[in-house]
Protein backbone atom coordinates (compact mmCIF):
# COMPACT_ATOMS: atom_id res chain seq x y z
CA UNK A 1 0.00 0.00 0.00
CA UNK A 2 1.40 3.33 -1.02
CA UNK A 3 0.36 6.60 0.68
CA UNK A 4 0.75 9.70 -1.36
CA UNK A 5 0.45 13.17 0.23
CA UNK A 6 0.26 16.24 -1.95
CA UNK A 7 0.88 19.69 -0.50
CA UNK A 8 -0.46 22.48 -2.65
CA UNK A 9 1.77 25.47 -3.32
CA UNK A 10 1.77 27.91 -0.37
CA UNK A 11 2.20 31.60 -1.19
CA UNK A 12 1.76 34.82 0.75
CA UNK A 13 -1.80 34.98 -0.63
CA UNK A 14 -2.74 31.53 0.65
CA UNK A 15 -5.74 31.78 3.00
CA UNK A 16 -5.08 30.31 6.45
CA UNK A 17 -8.22 31.38 8.32
CA UNK A 18 -10.80 34.07 8.97
CA UNK A 19 -10.21 37.54 10.40
CA UNK A 20 -12.50 37.72 13.41
CA UNK A 21 -13.33 41.09 14.94
CA UNK A 22 -15.58 42.27 17.76
CA UNK A 23 -18.21 44.95 17.17
CA UNK A 24 -19.37 47.64 19.62
CA UNK A 25 -21.86 45.23 21.24
CA UNK A 26 -19.16 42.64 21.94
CA UNK A 27 -20.38 40.34 19.16
CA UNK A 28 -17.80 38.60 17.00
CA UNK A 29 -18.02 38.84 13.22
CA UNK A 30 -15.88 37.70 10.31
CA UNK A 31 -14.15 40.57 8.54
CA UNK A 32 -12.48 38.81 5.64
CA UNK A 33 -9.89 36.09 5.37
CA UNK A 34 -6.39 35.93 6.83
CA UNK A 35 -3.56 35.08 4.46
CA UNK A 36 -0.05 33.87 5.11
CA UNK A 37 1.10 37.48 4.53
CA UNK A 38 -1.29 38.74 7.24
CA UNK A 39 -0.01 36.13 9.71
CA UNK A 40 3.64 36.94 8.90
CA UNK A 41 2.91 40.66 9.39
CA UNK A 42 1.33 39.92 12.80
CA UNK A 43 4.37 37.93 13.91
CA UNK A 44 6.80 40.63 12.70
CA UNK A 45 4.79 43.32 14.48
CA UNK A 46 4.77 41.33 17.74
CA UNK A 47 8.56 40.83 17.53
CA UNK A 48 9.24 44.49 16.67
CA UNK A 49 7.06 45.86 19.47
CA UNK A 50 8.96 43.75 22.03
CA UNK A 51 12.30 45.15 20.82
CA UNK A 52 13.67 47.97 23.05
CA UNK A 53 14.64 49.95 19.95
CA UNK A 54 10.97 50.08 18.90
CA UNK A 55 10.30 53.33 20.78
CA UNK A 56 13.15 55.13 19.03
CA UNK A 57 12.05 53.69 15.69
CA UNK A 58 8.44 54.77 16.27
CA UNK A 59 9.56 58.29 17.22
CA UNK A 60 11.76 58.52 14.13
CA UNK A 61 8.95 57.31 11.86
CA UNK A 62 6.60 59.85 13.45
CA UNK A 63 9.18 62.60 12.96
CA UNK A 64 9.64 61.68 9.29
CA UNK A 65 5.88 61.50 8.79
CA UNK A 66 5.37 64.94 10.35
CA UNK A 67 8.17 66.39 8.22
CA UNK A 68 6.63 64.95 5.05
CA UNK A 69 3.22 66.34 5.99
CA UNK A 70 4.73 69.78 6.64
CA UNK A 71 6.51 69.72 3.29
CA UNK A 72 3.30 68.72 1.49
CA UNK A 73 1.14 71.31 3.27
CA UNK A 74 3.59 74.23 3.13
CA UNK A 75 2.86 75.22 -0.50
CA UNK A 76 -0.88 74.94 0.12
CA UNK A 77 -0.65 77.26 3.11
CA UNK A 78 1.54 79.72 1.21
CA UNK A 79 -0.96 79.74 -1.65
CA UNK A 80 -3.89 80.27 0.74
CA UNK A 81 -2.09 83.18 2.43
CA UNK A 82 -1.22 84.89 -0.86
CA UNK A 83 -4.37 84.23 -2.90
CA UNK A 84 -6.73 87.23 -3.13
CA UNK A 85 -9.99 86.89 -1.22
CA UNK A 86 -12.90 89.21 -0.69
CA UNK A 87 -14.61 89.86 2.64
CA UNK A 88 -18.30 89.16 2.89
CA UNK A 89 -21.07 90.27 5.22
CA UNK A 90 -23.32 87.91 7.18
CA UNK A 91 -25.44 87.38 4.04
CA UNK A 92 -22.44 86.30 1.95
CA UNK A 93 -22.43 89.50 -0.07
CA UNK A 94 -19.04 90.85 -1.05
CA UNK A 95 -17.93 93.96 0.82
CA UNK A 96 -14.79 96.02 0.44
CA UNK A 97 -11.76 95.46 -1.75
CA UNK A 98 -9.87 92.25 -2.37
CA UNK A 99 -7.33 91.33 0.28
CA UNK A 100 -5.27 88.31 1.27
CA UNK A 101 -5.51 86.00 4.24
CA UNK A 102 -2.06 87.21 5.34
CA UNK A 103 -3.33 90.81 5.46
CA UNK A 104 -6.39 89.75 7.47
CA UNK A 105 -4.17 87.92 9.96
CA UNK A 106 -1.92 90.99 10.32
CA UNK A 107 -4.97 93.23 10.88
CA UNK A 108 -6.26 90.92 13.62
CA UNK A 109 -2.81 90.77 15.25
CA UNK A 110 -2.60 94.58 15.26
CA UNK A 111 -6.06 94.79 16.82
CA UNK A 112 -5.10 92.26 19.48
CA UNK A 113 -2.05 94.30 20.45
CA UNK A 114 -3.66 97.73 20.33
CA UNK A 115 -7.22 97.18 21.54
CA UNK A 116 -8.03 97.66 25.21
CA UNK A 117 -8.39 94.25 26.80
CA UNK A 118 -11.10 95.02 29.38
CA UNK A 119 -12.42 98.57 29.57
CA UNK A 120 -14.09 97.97 32.95
CA UNK A 121 -10.90 97.08 34.82
CA UNK A 122 -8.11 98.46 32.71
CA UNK A 123 -7.64 100.99 29.94
CA UNK A 124 -4.28 99.63 28.76
CA UNK A 125 -3.84 97.84 25.44
CA UNK A 126 -3.14 94.11 25.56
CA UNK A 127 0.51 94.50 24.50
CA UNK A 128 1.13 97.02 27.30
CA UNK A 129 -0.19 94.53 29.87
CA UNK A 130 1.93 91.71 28.45
CA UNK A 131 5.09 93.83 28.54
CA UNK A 132 4.31 95.04 32.08
CA UNK A 133 3.80 91.46 33.27
CA UNK A 134 7.11 90.35 31.73
CA UNK A 135 8.96 93.30 33.28
CA UNK A 136 7.46 92.41 36.67
CA UNK A 137 8.62 88.81 36.26
CA UNK A 138 12.14 89.93 35.40
CA UNK A 139 12.33 92.36 38.32
CA UNK A 140 10.79 89.85 40.71
CA UNK A 141 13.53 87.35 39.87
CA UNK A 142 16.27 90.00 40.33
CA UNK A 143 14.78 91.22 43.60
CA UNK A 144 14.49 87.67 44.96
CA UNK A 145 18.13 87.04 44.07
CA UNK A 146 19.24 90.24 45.84
CA UNK A 147 17.15 89.40 48.93
CA UNK A 148 18.77 85.95 49.09
CA UNK A 149 22.23 87.51 48.89
CA UNK A 150 21.34 90.02 51.63
CA UNK A 151 19.99 87.24 53.86
CA UNK A 152 23.19 85.25 53.39
CA UNK A 153 25.32 88.30 54.22
CA UNK A 154 23.25 89.08 57.34
CA UNK A 155 23.41 85.45 58.45
CA UNK A 156 27.18 85.40 57.98
CA UNK A 157 27.59 88.67 59.88
CA UNK A 158 25.28 87.53 62.69
CA UNK A 159 27.08 84.23 62.85
CA UNK A 160 30.47 85.85 63.44
CA UNK A 161 29.00 88.44 65.84
CA UNK A 162 27.16 85.75 67.79
CA UNK A 163 30.33 83.67 67.99
CA UNK A 164 32.26 86.64 69.41
CA UNK A 165 29.53 87.35 71.99
CA UNK A 166 29.36 83.70 73.07
CA UNK A 167 33.16 83.66 73.44
CA UNK A 168 33.06 86.82 75.62
CA UNK A 169 30.36 85.34 77.88
CA UNK A 170 32.23 82.04 78.13
CA UNK A 171 35.50 83.79 78.99
CA UNK A 172 33.76 85.91 81.61
CA UNK A 173 32.18 82.81 83.14
CA UNK A 174 35.52 81.02 83.17
CA UNK A 175 37.19 84.04 84.73
CA UNK A 176 34.60 84.11 87.54
CA UNK A 177 34.87 80.38 88.05
CA UNK A 178 38.65 80.52 88.24
CA UNK A 179 38.69 83.07 91.14
Could you tell me the pLDDT band of residue 39, with boundaries at 50, 70 and 90? very high
Angle at 45 between CA 44 and CA 50, to 5 degrees: 100
In-domain check, residue 73: yes
pLDDT per residue over 17-38, tens digit each? 999 999 999 999 999 999 999 9
In-domain check, residue 1: no
Strand partners, 134: none
130 and 173 in one domain?
Answer: yes
Domain of residue 108 covers 84-114
96 and 53 in one domain?
Answer: no
| 114 sits in which H/E element | helix 101-114
pLDDT per residue over 73-129, tens digit each? 999 999 988 899 888 889 988 888 888 988 888 888 888 777 776 667 677 787 888
Asked whether residue 178 carries a pLDDT value surpassing 60, the answer given is no
Given a contact cutoff of 8 angstroms between Cβ atoms, the answer to whether 20 and 30 are in contact is yes
In-domain check, residue 107: yes
In-domain check, residue 174: yes
The pTM assigned to this predicted structure is 0.38
In-domain check, residue 46: yes
Domain count within the chain: 3
Amino acid sequence: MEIKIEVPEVTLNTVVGDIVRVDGDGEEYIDGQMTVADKVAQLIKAAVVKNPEYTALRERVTEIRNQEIREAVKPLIREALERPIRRTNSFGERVGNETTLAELIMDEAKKTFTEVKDSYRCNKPFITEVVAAEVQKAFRADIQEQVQKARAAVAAQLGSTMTEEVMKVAMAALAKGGK
